[in-house]
A and B are shown apart, each in its own frame.
Chain A
Amino acid sequence: MAATAANEHTVLQFAAPSSATTTPILTARIHPLVIFNVCDCFVRRPDSAERVIGTLLGSILPDGTVDIRNSYAVPHNESSDQVAVDIDYHHNMLASHLKVNPKEIIVGWYSTGLGVNGGSALIHDFYAREVTNPIHLTVDTGFTNGVGAIKAFVSSNLSLGDRQLAAQFQEVPVDLRMVEAERVGYDVLKATAVDKLPNDMEGMELTMERLLTLINDVYKYVDSVVEGRTPPDTNIGRFIADAVASLPKLPPQVFDNLVNDSLQDQLLLLYLSSITRTQLSLAEKLNTAAQML
């Protein structure tokens, strides 16, 4: 991508952010723990600081996705033209984290607040020395525009001929993998206080209620299409047909047998465990109540 020598004008060019061996970054995948960490650090920041910065740990997958799995805050001082980052702290925390999980390496850094400013460019430079092509994550804790925006940026250097002009931050699409958070349950993580963790049966009840609502919705939709109230959508129709067809086609006798067998197995297990429990209490009575002398 060199400027053509014949041309008098030099071309504003983007330097290739990395050498040919490393793949360019396409998307960023963030685990919910990182968001929690960032929010927690923001809440605990010293009063003088306006925003918090920290390091992002994770791994870079071969297809260009950056998997951000963990993070930790780094104390820093920021004034209008100067930025000071506690480098020792950063290295210490990195070493500690690597001891636990050597596969999680630095992939970039985060800061709270919307957008990037001059200080960010300097910090980004610092991180660029640690890892090639760091990713910069901004988490808008101030909820400007009424939205908590999470954006990821990669920087590329703008240069005019041989002179470095600026670093341009290009936005990278962010994929929020909330699978773990979903597993824990959004209700648990959303509320400011939850009194009791739901146990097995309650969770089951909740799931079944949700399933029932879903089925009801589909039912209503089909009804309204049949009556002509809503225009039919072939895609949805196809989905519904697939779903109904995925029920196994077993003759009712066979299916009943199957269900009854499984029921009997479960009952057997329950019986076994109750017997074991009785055995335990018996044994305990015999052990401690036996008096020899």
Chain B
Amino acid sequence: MATMARSFLQAISKDEVVAPPLRVVQIEGLAVLKIIKHCKEFAPTLVTGQLLGLDVGSVLEVTNCFPFPVRDDDEEIEADGANYQLEMMRCLREVNVDNNTVGWYQSTVLGSYQTVELIETFMNYQENIKRCVCIIYDPSKADLGVLALKALKLSDSFMELYRAGNFTGEKLREKNFSWMDIFEEIPIKVSNSALVSAFMTELETDAPVSQGDYDRLHSSTTPFLENNMEFLIKCMDDLSMEQQKFQYYYRNLSRQQAQQQAWLQKRRTENMGRRSAGEEALPEEDPSNPIFKPIPEPSRLESFLITNQVSNFCGQINGVAGQNFSRLYLTKALHDN
């Protein structure tokens, strides 16, 4: 309430109200369960869905969500997809569900979600909605007993850069922009209505150990780690390819520079010769000469994304290895006893 009062004051005092930065994403348990169910059912296919909720001050509330049907054929289902969305939102409106789109969710496999498509979807959404968030869920981690839910947002500086459309080295150095600045992770809070929490309290089994515990104590994480390592290796390969592209570009650039210098030298000597002969000097630049054509610098976006992914995998491996340590020590202690 306080934020609303303040923004009203601001509205009457200034012309523009600056939205406070997004600090927390508050999800309802219902939306969490729906996301989990949808992603798990269709694993390993990647699925997406829409998030509905409210944007209040520095908190983005997600109160409901609905899944998108899987698209087999992009051409004819374009209009179908839009129809489906409108239909769902209209129906949900009738039962008093907030039907503001606040973002979308998608499932991922082992955390490899940083792709160009993600950024493009973000930009699409951003044009229509002031603040949108993307929730990533990893169903493969649920087997390890971890709730892998993350809320992502593109950082503002990245959005400006993307709109400007170039990712050359100088621009990035200017802004002191590194690969970590592309995505911002926002902490998630889970909230439930009182009725739901009453039901859950009652339905909670009295067993001191739950299924989640069984999953966590399961010591065979090798397939997960193997897959992670595989993805990591592949990503490193991609990264080294990108590096090679850069090297190639730099080499070309320096070669072109040398050529330009040589040509310039030649021109200058020619001009001197001409001046001494009393003729007009030729211009020192010749835009039609192909060696003056500027070579486009490859965009760094890909390499940034790949770097992000690699760091993600590393983090995951770290986490799982840590868990494994505890498990191993536990088994050791049990055995000693």
Contact = CB atoms under 8 A, between A and B. Distances in A.
Interface of A: 31-33, 35-37, 39-46, 69-70, 72-73, 75, 86, 89, 92-93, 95-96, 99-101, 141, 143, 147-148, 176, 178-186, 188-201, 203-204, 206-208, 210-211, 213-214, 247, 250, 252, 255, 259, 262-263, 266-267, 269-270, 272-274, 276-277, 280, 283-284, 287-290, 292-293
Task: Point out which of A39, A176, A178, A267 has the most chain B C-beta atoms below 10 A from its C-beta.
Answer: A39
Contacts of A267: 321
B304 to A, nearest CB: 9
A221 B20 CA distance: 57
A112 B251 CA distance: 72
Interface string B69-96: 1100000000000001001100100111
B146 interface: yes
Given A39-B196, A193-B191, A284 B328 contact: no
Contacts of A266: 321, 324-325, 328
B328 A290 contact: no
Given A207-B145, A211-B209, 16 more contacts: A35-B199, A36-B196, A44-B96, A46-B96, A100-B69, A180-B36, A180-B40, A183-B212, A186-B200, A197-B147, A200-B146, A263-B328, A269-B229, A269-B321, A273-B315, A287-B303
Contacts of A200: 144, 146, 319-320, 322-323
B331 A203 contact: no
B302 to A, nearest CB: 12
A272 B328 CA distance: 20
A31 B323 CA distance: 30
Contacts of A147: 202
B173 A289 contact: yes
Interface of B: 28-30, 32-34, 36-38, 40-41, 64, 67-70, 84, 87-88, 91, 94-97, 142, 144-147, 149, 169, 172-173, 178-179, 187-205, 208-213, 215-217, 225, 229, 232, 236, 239, 243, 246, 250, 253-254, 257, 300, 303, 307, 310-311, 313-315, 317-326, 328, 330-332, 334-335
B199 A288 contact: no
Identify whether the interface residues of A are mostly helix, strand, loop, or mixed: helix
Contacts of A35: 196, 199, 203
Nearest to A201: B322
| Closest 5 pairs between A and B when the two form their complex, measured CB to CB | A273-B314, A44-B96, A99-B69, A182-B211, A182-B210
A280 B173 CA distance: 17
B34 A33 contact: yes
Contacts of B147: 183-185, 188, 197-198
23 contacts: A32-B203, A40-B196, A42-B195, A92-B91, A179-B211, A182-B210, A189-B196, A190-B192, A190-B201, A191-B190, A194-B191, A200-B144, A200-B146, A208-B330, A214-B209, A247-B335, A266-B321, A266-B324, A273-B321, A284-B179, A287-B300, A288-B172, A289-B173
Contacts of A186: 200, 204, 210
A273 B314 CA distance: 5
B183 to A, nearest CB: 15
A20 to B, nearest CB: 32
A92 B87 contact: yes
Given A31-B37, A89-B94, A197-B190, A40 B323 contact: no
A273 B317 contact: yes
B313 to A, nearest CB: 8
Nearest to B195: A39
A184 B146 CA distance: 8
Contacts of A276: 232, 236, 310, 314
Contacts of B320: 200
Task: Point out which of B68, B211, B257 has the most chain A C-beta atoms below 10 A from its C-beta.
Answer: B211
Given A75-B94, A185-B147, A180 B335 contact: no
A96 to B, nearest CB: 5
A189 B29 contact: yes
Given A33-B34, A188-B147, A292 B322 contact: no
A138 to B, nearest CB: 13
Given A96-B88, A180-B37, A266-B325, A287 B169 contact: yes
Contacts of B250: 290, 292
A192 B197 CA distance: 6
A32 B210 CA distance: 15
A101 B236 contact: no
A39 B197 CA distance: 10
A269 B225 contact: yes
A96 B91 contact: yes
A208 B212 CA distance: 12
Nearest to A98: B69
A191 B87 CA distance: 33
A184 B33 contact: yes
Contact of A211 (B213, B310, B324): B213
